[in-house]
Amino acid sequence: MASSAASPPAEGGSEPFRIRGTLTITRAASIQREIDAEADPVTIDLSGVERMDTVGAWLVYRTVRDRGAKVTGASPEAQSLLDQVEEFDKPVQVRPEEGASFGRVIAELGQWMVEVGRTLVGLLGFFGATLIAFMQVASRPKRFRWNAVVQRFDVVGVRALGIIGLMSFLIGVVIGQQGAVQLQQFGAEIYTINLIGRITVRELGTLMTAIMVAGRSGSAFAAQLGTMKITEEIDAMRTIGVSPIEALVIPRMIAAVIMMPLLAFWAMLMALLGGGIFVWLDLGIPPLTYIQRLQEVIPITDLWIGLLKAPVFGFIIALAGCFQGMLVESNSEEVGLRTTTAVVQSIFLVIVLDAVFAVFFSSIGWK
């Protein structure tokens, strides 16, 4: 055995277990194994130890505590370390208490259901609180911070023009290209224009804009309010007497509700432009014909459908974003979680509502 290692156990365990060299955390695992292999009663001889740390002392101490081992040859320093480790041997809970696994699954399911219920009730309550705040703003419009709203217009609307325009342009091109490939097989490529016109104006312009706004602004709302919650800015507002809903939530909602239809209209135009350029270059249909044809095939109700949905989607996005932001309580990790939830929730709600709108508008005869 190596010179620094412990000596092997002698017959009957009467020979002391001698530790030489260092007794530190670096050798903790192997020394523990060797001590475990010793037969009772154990005597540990520390006279050969050159350096010991608290982990080493702990190993010796726990053997004394659990197996009644004797310690010999401890230097004053080693003895003081042993005493010190003993002093801090208090029952400290390290792991959280865990129930049986089956019970735990059921409990988690139950907690999850409670959580879902609470979120729904909370969302409803938040909706009510914003309505009340809207009333208050309407009764005293002079006190309202219109500057904040205009600032939100810039962030939510103007700065989104570029990315939403580009996205819509490309979507127009893709619809045109895919439509043309299929319709050319019947010699009906002129119907590509119908396809581009109706699908972008009625559905995709608004829907894609809503998804982009949810990702861009809904997440920002949740993160901003969440951070303000953590830094106690929102509490500070309350104590000064400023309603956080009035000061933070309402401007964001107004901005989202007003900007969504404008952005959706912009998205429609850009998609039509993208599709138009594609049919001009690929199918050889001149722009003038394209525009004339669009006028013939898109009923004005399509535009109304697209533009009516937009503010509702904007409202949903702002509601989910602000609600999740206000739910943040303790730490920065929660801001990330809440932001993700806000985006997922608002996109989900937008798509569900879009389906509802599709059925509704068809059934009132806007086909």
Partner 1 sequence: MTERQSIISVRGLTNRFGEAVIHENLDLDVHRGEIIGVVGGSGTGKSVLMRSIIGLQTPAEGHVEVLGENMVGRTEDEAKNIRRRWGILFQNGALFSTLTVAENVEVPIREYFPFIRPPLLDEIASYKIAMGGLPADAGPKYPSELSGGMVKRAGLARALALDPELLFLDEPTAGLDPISAAAFDELILGLQKRLDLTVFLITHDLDTLYAICDRVAVLADRKVIAVGTIPELLALDHPWIQEYFNGPRGRAAADTAKEHAEA
76 makes contact with partner 1 (CB under 8 A): no
Which range in 55-63, 100-108, 197-205, 238-246 contacts partner 1 by CB under 8 A? Answer: 55-63
The torsion angle over the Cα atoms of residues 213, 214, 220 and 223, rounded to 10 degrees, is: 180
Q: Which of 320, 298, 319, 308 is nearest to 356 (CA)?
A: 308
One of 88, 112, 127, 348 touching partner 1 (CB under 8 A): 88
Residue 13 C-beta: closest distance to partner 1, Å: 23
Which range in 80-88, 123-131, 259-267, 298-306 contacts partner 1 by CB under 8 A? Answer: 80-88
Closest to partner 1 by CB, 27 or 202: 27
For residue 173, how many other CB atoms are within 10 A of its CB?
21
Q: How far apart are CA 178 and CA 267, in angstroms?
A: 19
Q: How far apart are CA 49 and CA 41, in angstroms?
A: 21
Contacts of residue 327, defined as CB under 8 A and 6 or more positions apart, other chains included, come to: 122, 226, 338
Q: How far is CA 274 from the centre of its chain?
A: 33
Sheet holding 43-45, edge to edge: 17-18, 43-45, 70-72
64 makes contact with partner 1 (CB under 8 A): no
Per the CB < 8 A criterion, the answer to whether 272 and 200 are in contact is yes
Closest to partner 1 by CB, 14 or 331: 331
66 by DSSP, 3-state: which?
helix
Closest to partner 1 by CB, 88 or 146: 88
Site string for partner 1, 14-33 (x = CB under 8 A): ----------xxx-xx--x-
One of 1, 2, 12, 91 touching partner 1 (CB under 8 A): 91
Residue 335 C-beta: closest distance to partner 1, Å: 11
Which range in 83-91, 114-122, 169-177, 192-200 contacts partner 1 by CB under 8 A? Answer: 83-91
One of 14, 80, 182, 292 touching partner 1 (CB under 8 A): 80
Closest to partner 1 by CB, 223 or 263: 223
Instruction: Give 18's strand partners.
Output: 45
Residue 9, preceding bond cis, omega within 30 degrees? Answer: no
Instruction: Give 72's strand partners.
Output: 45
Contacting partner 1 within 95-124 (CB under 8 A):
95-97
Tokens of 286: 């001149």
Q: How far apart are CA 300 and CA 78, in angstroms?
A: 90
Q: How far apart are CA 354 and CA 192, in angstroms?
A: 24
Please work out the total of residues on this chain that contact partner 1, with binding judged by CB under 8 A.
28
Contacting partner 1 within 323-342 (CB under 8 A):
330-333
Contacting partner 1 within 254-313 (CB under 8 A):
none
For residue 319, how many other CB atoms are within 10 A of its CB?
24
One of 3, 12, 40, 94 touching partner 1 (CB under 8 A): 94
Closest to partner 1 by CB, 54 or 194: 54
Which range in 77-85, 126-134, 294-302, 316-324 contacts partner 1 by CB under 8 A? Answer: 77-85
85 makes contact with partner 1 (CB under 8 A): yes
Residue 90 C-beta: closest distance to partner 1, Å: 5
One of 2, 92, 240, 288 touching partner 1 (CB under 8 A): 92
Closest to partner 1 by CB, 25 or 37: 25
CA atoms 221, 223, 224, 226: torsion sign: positive
Residue 92 C-beta: closest distance to partner 1, Å: 4
Per the CB < 8 A criterion, the answer to whether 52 and 27 are in contact is no
Residue 38 C-beta: closest distance to partner 1, Å: 16
Buried b (16+ CB within 10 A) or exposed e, 186-195: eeebeebbbb
Residue owning tokens 């993160």: 223
Binding residues vs partner 1 (CB under 8 A):
24-26, 28-29, 32, 53-55, 58, 62, 80, 84-85, 88-97, 330-333
